[in-house]
Amino acid sequence: MRSPLGERFLCQGLGICMRTIWWEDNFVRMIDQRLLPGRLEVPAYNNYQDVAWTIKEMVIRGAPAIGAAAGFGMVLAARQSQATTRAALLADLERAGDVLRAARPTAVNLSWGVERLLRRAQDPALETPDAIRVAMLAEAQALADEDVEVNKRMGRNGAAVIPDGARILHHCNTGSLATVDYGTALGVVRAAHEEGKRVHVWVDETRPRLQGARLTAWELMQDEIPMTLIADNAAGLLMRTGQVDVVLYGADRVAANGDVANKVGSYNVAVLAQENGIPCYSVVPTSTIDLNLPTGDDIPIEQRPAEEVTMVGGVRIAPEHVAVYNPAFDVTPHRYLTGIITEEGIVYPPFREGLRRVKETAEARRR
């Protein structure tokens, strides 16, 4: 189903269509992704502290979606502030930005969204608190709308490397739910499907939070794109037996040299792909590229609660008090990547200059 503007919206069942996150009646509304696919709920939030909580608790997840949440969270912070002077409001916004940034450390889109809203608020042309508040809402809306168009451009670029009949291995969730709408790596799959290419997706379940089993499988089934759910450990067997043609996944941060931080397990998949002669692409908006970090070793890796590993669906599967190591992400060294697909084109090795070029092109386009 499509809106009157022709944008693709996430749909379920009886014509319920929406983006992953949006502004409505002075609230931020977002799909609670912890509950899918069992039920669809869209709670509303009216303060930035709650938005920070939704990011930390993964009510909303996926680097681009988190960036949009940061933008709307900053709008709420501006409206919560009782400041009557420009200087006081800017000080309140700096404090709110610190709270939002701290929610999750790995995804650079979170701090990118905060910084973009702060830059808008600091525009000298905005002389009063009310003018700042109005401009910030417009900026957050623009950020969200741009995300949809960026994803569509990425999809078209990436579809060029997907042959007709491709069997695609995909890790985690990178679709509409991970973005404002359409998706990054799943956006490539969607674009190829829309072009009439016959594709089939092997969907990693993606332990421990099962984003593949819960979210990616649900999205692909909604779009009637052929897919099969697999245990993470089956990926190597499929590659060795010639049943995978290309590997796609997203990223939460890309270092200047092309090292990619993505959902834990991505590194394993990339190494197996190279061993079996299969192209492996990370699909990312340029906002996820962090040229300030030289290599992936500099990317902070979030540690998540032990219960994500010891419990499944509220049922304990491990002994009480067992020691748990639960990194949310791992880093794929750039040598295992065939290319990095962005909205400004596909970057191939050597990555450093290409990443800088697409980053600068995207920033020029935005200006």
Which residues are known to be catalytic?
252
Angle value at C-alpha 357, between 20 and 342, nearest 5 degrees: 30
Block residue for tokens 């009480």: 320
d(CA 67, CA 29): 14
Q: Compute CA distances 103 → 70, 119, 256, 356, whole Å.
A: 10, 20, 24, 27
Q: Compute CA distances 192 → 197, 215, 337, 357, whole Å.
A: 6, 20, 20, 26
d(CA 5, CA 65): 21
Peptide bond into 37 cis (omega under 30): yes
d(CA 176, CA 160): 20
Radius of gyration of the chain measured on its C-alpha atoms: 20
The three-state secondary structure class of 296 is: helix
Block residue for tokens 């908006």: 285
Supply the DSSP symbol for 2: B
Q: Return the number of other C-beta atoms located less than 10 Å from residue 98's C-beta.
A: 11
